[in-house]
Amino acid sequence: MTSNKNYDIKDPTLAEAGRKRIEWATREMPVVKLIRERFAKEKPLSGIRISACLHITSETANLALALKEGGANAILCASNPLSTQDDAAAALVEYGIPVNAIKGEDQKTYYKHINTALDQEPQITVDDGADLVTTLHTERSNLISKVIGGTEETTTGVIRLRSLAKAGGLKYPIIAVNDAQTKYLFDNRYGTGQSTIDGITRATNILWAGRKVVICGYGWCGHGIALRARGLGAQVIITEVEPVRAIEAVMDGYQVMPLIEAAQVGDVFITIAGNKNVIDKAHFQVMKDGALLANSGHFNVEINIPVLESLSSGKQQVRPFVEGYTLKDGRRLYLLGEGRLINLAAAEGHPANVMDMSFANQALCMEYMVKNRGKLKPKVYPVPERIDKQVARLKLDSMGINIDTLTPEQEKYLNSWQEGT
Ligand SMILES: NC(=O)c1ccc[n+]([C@@H]2O[C@H](COP(=O)([O-])OP(=O)(O)OC[C@H]3O[C@@H](n4cnc5c(N)ncnc54)[C@H](O)[C@@H]3O)[C@@H](O)[C@H]2O)c1
């Protein structure tokens, strides 16, 4: 090991375990595999420097390997201090892809790792939550002139980037991968739905049947979590601030009420709103003894942890990823995974099969960025429809599912206005 190495991982001896984990994920990622095989022949990213701030998991490893086959020089850092799979990180380093990520790293190390990823002067940035792009625009703006473009993986990141663009501050084009239909309808809904329940189950081993589960936020992730919690027999309560989403939740068969009311009856609270202090002081004050608190939204700001600390006389780690906060009146509230996204903190994040589509979009959008170098403006772009549809078709092909095609007569009918009653 040299002192100027461009990677920082927990333990290189974990590489073999990581390789096995990555190979297992490969079996579940047929679309990324197809793209990787084409990239190996065509080298569409030849010599392109990519700095990618993503959850360092076996699925991300498959994306990184596809980019490498495409000719890119990619360097990775974590998009969350608790989401890194140290074995996958070690294997990636062995495959020749530098990774800067250690599960449980502190805030200072997290940003040091982002800066190491930026040191390679990226031409493409890949972000999940926009911490890398924000660091680039604030502390490292001297590097921006070299950037062709970027991609953003998650809802919270897209919201931040749109705000930056609105304020006139975004300096290069970014594609909102999150907003592809083949991303949010599957990754956010089925991926977050299953893996959030998985994370809470692994951390607590609770029986879901009969529990009152309060879900804050009925976006695409909230839809998935609610669906899976109900499937396990939970009584689901939704809290929302958007009237359309609230009425949708009502008609989907859930109870809907303000959080202050739900706080008094809930057994498990899951916030997935992408917002700050969603679960706050007034709620802690009325919760039942033994309530479980989990966040699956991108940042650990959804549960007001500083206030929970201030209301408590002490806290105790009762299981891995479970901290019991004793309130001054004797009630105990259990915070899971330090309030960080529970599916990645206490479980393995989304199953590879759903990340297959998200990361196929990522790889194809990076190829698109390079092909369209210099033609795009500094704004947030949607994923080109052609790419979204292509990902869906490839996924269907991989599942052996055929669908119908429009007849010429139907195509004409759908593009006409003359025919009516
Ligand atoms: N855990 C994961 O692996 C994972 C995966 C994808 C997305 N995410 C993150 O999850 C969060 C939600 O993503 P999404 O795609 O569902 O977003 P979304 O915008 O579709 O949904 C969020 C919902 O929360 C509601 N909301 C906002 N503030 C609220 C409040 N105070 N109380 C109740 N509801 C409130 C909004 O009205 C909206 O309906 C984001 O932070 C996103 O980045 C996490």
In 3D space, the residue among 318, 278, 282, 326 whose CA is nearest the CA of residue 301 turns out to be: 278
pLDDT tens readout for residues 124-173? 999 999 999 999 999 999 999 999 999 999 999 999 999 999 999 999 99
Show the low-confidence residues of the chain (pLDDT under 70): 1-4
Side chain identity at residue 338, one-letter code? E
The pLDDT value recorded for residue 225 is 98
CB 100 within 8 A of CB 150: no
pTM attached to this predicted model: 0.95
CB 28 within 8 A of CB 58: no
The pLDDT value recorded for residue 242 is 98
Integer CA distances (angstroms), 341 to 161, 407, 409, in order: 20, 46, 49
The pLDDT value recorded for residue 5 is 86
In 3D space, the residue among 225, 224, 232, 226 whose CA is nearest the CA of residue 208 turns out to be: 232
Question: How many whole angstroms separate alpha carbon 9 and alpha carbon 1?
Answer: 12
Q: Which residues line ligand 1 (CB under 6 A)?
A: 154-156, 184, 188, 192, 216-222, 239-242, 245, 272-275, 278, 296-298, 341, 343, 349
Taken as a whole, the chain contains a residue count of: 421
Ligand 1, atom 3, lies closest to the CA of 192
Q: Tell me, in angstroms, the distance from the centre of ligand 1 to residue 216's CA.
A: 8
Choosing from 275, 278, 354, 361 the residue with most ligand 1 atoms within 8 A of its CB, the one to mutate for a pocket test is 275
- Measured N-to-C along each axis, helices 352-371 and 58-69 cross at an angle, to the nearest 10 degrees, of 30
Ligand 1, atom 41, lies closest to the CA of 274
Helices of type H across 294-351 = 305-311, 342-345
- Transcribe 342-358 into DSSP letters: HHHHTS--S-HHHHHHH
Paired tokens of 63: 């994306």
The pLDDT value recorded for residue 374 is 94
